[in-house]
Structure 1
Amino acid sequence: MLRDYLKIYESDRLVEQSLLRLHNRGQEDVTEWHIVGANGEHKGSVVLFDKLSNRRSYRVSYRITQTDL
């Protein structure tokens, strides 16, 4: 599903680098992936900011940032 919103080739892979859980009012998760090409070169990164609702147990907002090298 995440790949639908990114400008990457089908042969590119997403390799998870880090997951940060912020226990603030919004219960936000920040996940970072590196974009790796078919021949192993680092092509960029993707960061997903995922905020959880305080009153309900579902996600209320997403923000995806793609950075190319």
Structure 2
Amino acid sequence: MMADILTSAGQFRHKAVGIHKGGEVHHVAPPAHKVSGLMADLMQWLQQAKDHPLITSYVFHYEFEFIHPLC
């Protein structure tokens, strides 16, 4: 359904990204070549996490947003 609109849907990013607001840089994501490994580490952590699910979801969300794996 999205093939003609967003050709990279579901794929890790292949370029540098950051969060900018008003010309000011708020976050620079890790380099694109590290995304796959960082996501693998995050998934492994998630499978082994023993904390309360609410805490686990917070940590996962924070790390996911920090890595910023999608375009």
Fold conserved between structures, TM > 0.5: no
Q: What TM-score range do you get, normalising by the shorter chain?
A: under 0.3
Q: TM-score, normalised by structure 2?
A: 0.25
Greater Rg over alpha carbons, structure: 2
Q: Which has the higher helix share?
A: 2
Give the structure-1-normalised TM-score.
0.25
